[in-house]
Amino acid sequence: MTVKLLNPVVLINGLIFPQVLGSAVYYPHKFLSQHCEFHLLNLPAWATQKERLTLLAELFQKLELKECHVIGHSQGGLDGRWLLESPEYRKKILTLTSINSPFRGTPVLRYFPWLKQNWSHFYELQETSWKSQEHTPHFCVNSFMHSTDDLKHLPLFRLVGHRLAKYVGRNDGFLSLESMRLGEEILLSDADHLASIGWPLNLGAHLLGAKHPHYFFDAILKQLKEWEAKR
């Protein structure tokens, strides 16, 4: 018997998803098979930070949800943090799960200066802002890491390459409101950036032993179900 989530899930896409990659991302079939109510906010690709947050507020309000779980991928994880800054939205959000979100900033955009300057400036702020890093120190781990053996043994893989990966440091992970209150962090340092949201696993990640895309969905769903059961 499938135990479905008691509360709906709101998904916030990353910087270029899903318009560029199509409807295969963000596990729509998996949510349906689990009888979970979910809403993909589908923010436009390559939007500026101001454009994303304006539209995010509009879409979130239109849902008229009493309570929900928020899952954000990549830039969507940072957007989820922004939602928590608003008392109006925060009271509706039960948990925030971030997948491969650059909470410490990323040097990648430095190599693409022709992208919108707003983005370069935004990521520079993310790299230097104490507030953006206060929940993401290297040494922080969550009890979820200790209780889920597989997550502790995932191999390291980053699409930006070894040199940039070393520079960026460990910055991918899950973060829930509960763990934020405790000042703890769940780090997931090896996820293929696209496979973690349902896109077919690329060959490089597969050869390095990365998990099948469904693994990440199952891990997230397991965490949310356990949280609801304890609530």
Q: Where are the domains of the chain?
A: 9-126+133-229
The pLDDT score that the predictor gives to residue 206 is: 52
The pLDDT score that the predictor gives to residue 200 is: 59
Q: How many CB atoms lie within 10 A of CB 192?
A: 23
AA letter at 82? W
**Three-class secondary structure of residue 6 per DSSP:** coil
The pLDDT score that the predictor gives to residue 8 is: 92
Give the residue from 100, 95, 90 showing the smallest Cα distance to 5. Answer: 95
Q: Are 82 and 56 in contact (CB under 8 A)?
A: yes
The pLDDT score that the predictor gives to residue 19 is: 60
The per-residue pLDDT for range 64-101, each reduced to its tens digit, is 899 998 887 777 877 887 787 778 888 888 887 777 66
C-alpha torsion angle, residues 93, 194, 221, 44 (rounded to 10): 30
Give the residue from 51, 58, 45, 59 showing the smallest Cα distance to 10. Answer: 59
The CATH class for the domain spanning 9-126+133-229 reads alpha beta
User: How far is the C-alpha of 149 from the C-alpha of 136, rounded, in Å?
Assistant: 21
Contacts of 165 (CB under 8 A, 6+ apart): 156, 158
Residue 14 has, within 13 A of its CA and on its CB side, a CA count of 18
Question: Taking the CA atoms of the chain, what radius of gyration do you get in angstroms?
Answer: 17
C-alpha torsion angle, residues 185, 141, 126, 15 (rounded to 10): -70
Is the entire prediction scored with pTM above 0.85?
no
Q: Please, what sign has the CA dihedral across residues 205, 140, 152, 216? A: negative
Within the chain, which residues score under 50 in pLDDT? 1, 104-116, 119-120, 122-123, 125-191
User: With helix as H, strand as E and coil as C, how does 123-141 read?
Assistant: HHHHHHCHHHHCCCCCCCC
Burial 129-143 (b: 16+ CB within 10 A, else e): eeebeebbeeebebe
- Largest Cα–Cα distance in the chain? 52
Helix (H) or strand (E) holding 71: strand 68-73
The pLDDT score that the predictor gives to residue 153 is: 36
> What token pair was written down for 208?
């390095």
Q: Are 162 and 150 in contact (CB under 8 A)?
A: no
The pLDDT score that the predictor gives to residue 75 is: 76
**Three-class secondary structure of residue 153 per DSSP:** coil
The pLDDT score that the predictor gives to residue 218 is: 74
